[in-house]
Amino acid sequence: MSKQKEEIMFNHNGDSDIPLKVALYARVSSEEQKQGQNIQSQIDRSDGYTEMFNLRLVDSFIDEAVSGTVPLNERPEGLWLLEAAREKRFDVVIVYRLDRLARKLKVLLDGWEELDALGVGVRSMTEPLDTSNPLGRFVMQLLGSIAELERETILERTRDGKEASVRRGY
């Protein structure tokens, strides 16, 4: 691992007086969540998180009513996030939880690999995640798999509930 990537992951950018530049990526998948406070709660959390860790929030990318199964480069704000990463506008992308970045393991890994190739780290504000070592990358993959399982379980329960309602005549 390069010293630069190590410094990015641990917020030791050589000069503790210079805050690490970060970008927030927030996402909700439905119109109902868009109308609620879910996006705002992700933004609020980032405010406290960046202050706590002396990070400088330089940009925010908010995808509303976009599924986490859609590849990052096919999302409106995800595409802008990747473009800004290519322009080296920030060092790390912060997300509320890893499932905000993706709800399918392949989508998560593809997005992470693209950001990693651009020298941009990924940090979850609520999960202990350090992708600078093999165990951290394993944890990221495990969390990605759990997010995918959670999504599939929700879909299955929704489908079962609808079928039960139809059987009862609703």
56 torsion bin: left (phi>0), alpha (psi -120 to 50), beta (else): beta
Q: Are strands 121-124 and 55-63 parallel, antiparallel or unpaired?
A: unpaired
Cβ contact 38:100 at 8 Å: no
Is residue 145 among the annotated active site residues? no
Write the secondary structure of 32-98 as one string of H (helix), E (strand) and C (coil): HHHHCCHHHHHHHHHHHHHHHCCEEEEEEEEECCCCCCCCHHHCHHHHHHHHHHHCCCCCEEEECCH
Which two structure tokens, joined as six digits, stand for 133?
């070592």
Annotated catalytic residue: which of 2, 29, 41, 60? Answer: 29
Q: What burial class does residue 77 get, using C-beta atoms within 10 Å of its C-beta: 0-12 exposed, 13-18 middle, 19+ buried?
A: middle
Q: Which residues are catalytic?
A: 29
